[in-house]
Amino acid sequence: MSIVAERIKELAKKQGITVKSLLEVLEINKGFVSDLSSRNVAPSADKLTKIADYFKVSVDYLLGRTDDPTPAGQKKASPEEIEAELIKTFHAIGIIGPDANPTQEQLDYLVKQFKIFADGYLKSDERK
């Protein structure tokens, strides 16, 4: 199986969608991935770009030229940058006061509580 086909299947699975539905949404023929796997057909740049844009990964990642899915021009945030953004967000929505400087333990607790809330919210939304 080609690396491109493997990556597309892996990304679709992570997103909780089928390859068939992905191809339908992107208006790519339904045999595209199987052609990549069985006939080792070279994918067009247009199709690769559509798929990469959909999953927000780089074309190089789909091609197996890198294991970093981050598109060019986008840098990954460091843990310190993520923490600073999290504190800023918690300040903005009033979870912590504007002058508060929470400890790592407090941040971990807030993140855990937020995840519990988000999971519950998403599950209740699915029931509607």
All domains of the chain in start order, with CATH = 3-63 (1.10.260.40), 79-126 (no CATH)
Write down the pLDDT at residue 27: 93
Q: How many CB atoms lie within 10 A of CB 55?
A: 20
- State in Å, rounded, how far the first CA of the chain is from the last one: 40
Q: Are 33 and 9 in contact (CB under 8 A)?
A: yes
pLDDT band at 124 (very low <50, low <70, confident <90, very high): low
Write down the pLDDT at residue 90: 79
Provide the whole-model pTM. Answer: 0.57
**Residues 40-64 pLDDT 10s:** 778 889 999 999 999 989 999 999 9
**Residues 75-106 pLDDT 10s:** 667 777 777 887 788 778 777 877 777 888 88
Instruction: Please tell me which residue, 114 or 66, carries the higher pLDDT value.
Output: 66
